[in-house]
Amino acid sequence: MNALNIRKIFPYTPEVLLLMGAVVCLVGEWLATSHVNGLMVVGMLLVVTLLISKSKYLALSIAILLGVVSVFFLLALLSEFHEFPVDNPERWQVLLGGGAIFGSLLVVSVIMPRKYFSR
């Protein structure tokens, strides 16, 4: 893969990360429970539609929804963190792992509309 191909793919990094996360969640749940999560399928279809149509308003809608959900889950994560006993080392694993996941989703929700509205 040369530098020219990487430059073509780089602007779509937030969408690709969202798709990869949705695929991992979908496959993980399917392997664990033998059921397909319809919400993940709809989310993947929305992101693929966004990649194809490049609609500003679809990007804004996805970003707002993703941002609100990320903030909600970050607050829930902090609530769970404070319920762990102080001497439990797993509380830091929960905080760092969840913070990385939901924090990156929050960053994606900020980057995505800026990219589409800057055109």
- For the segment 94-103, what is each residue's pLDDT rounded down to a tens digit? 888 888 888 8
User: Does one domain contain both 118 and 61?
Assistant: yes
User: Does one domain contain both 43 and 8?
Assistant: yes
User: Does one domain contain both 70 and 88?
Assistant: yes
In the predicted model, what is the mean pLDDT of residues 40-68?
89
Q: Confidence class of residue 109 from pLDDT cuts 50, 70 and 90?
A: confident
User: Does one domain contain both 71 and 119?
Assistant: yes
Amino acid identity, position 101: I
User: Does one domain contain both 43 and 68?
Assistant: no
User: Does one domain contain both 41 and 61?
Assistant: no
In this prediction, residue 72 carries a pLDDT of 93
User: Does one domain contain both 70 and 87?
Assistant: yes
Stronger pLDDT, 25 or 7, i.e. the higher one: 25
Which range of residues forms the domain containing residue 7?
1-53
In this prediction, residue 68 carries a pLDDT of 92
User: Does one domain contain both 5 and 20?
Assistant: yes
User: Does one domain contain both 71 and 47?
Assistant: no
Total of domains in the chain: 2
pLDDT digits (tens, 9 = 90+) for 13-43: 888 888 888 888 888 888 888 888 888 889 8
- Its pTM stands at 0.76
User: Does one domain contain both 28 and 58?
Assistant: no
In the predicted model, what is the mean pLDDT of residues 69-85?
88
In the predicted model, what is the mean pLDDT of residues 3-9?
70
- For residue 66, how many other CB atoms are within 10 A of its CB? 19
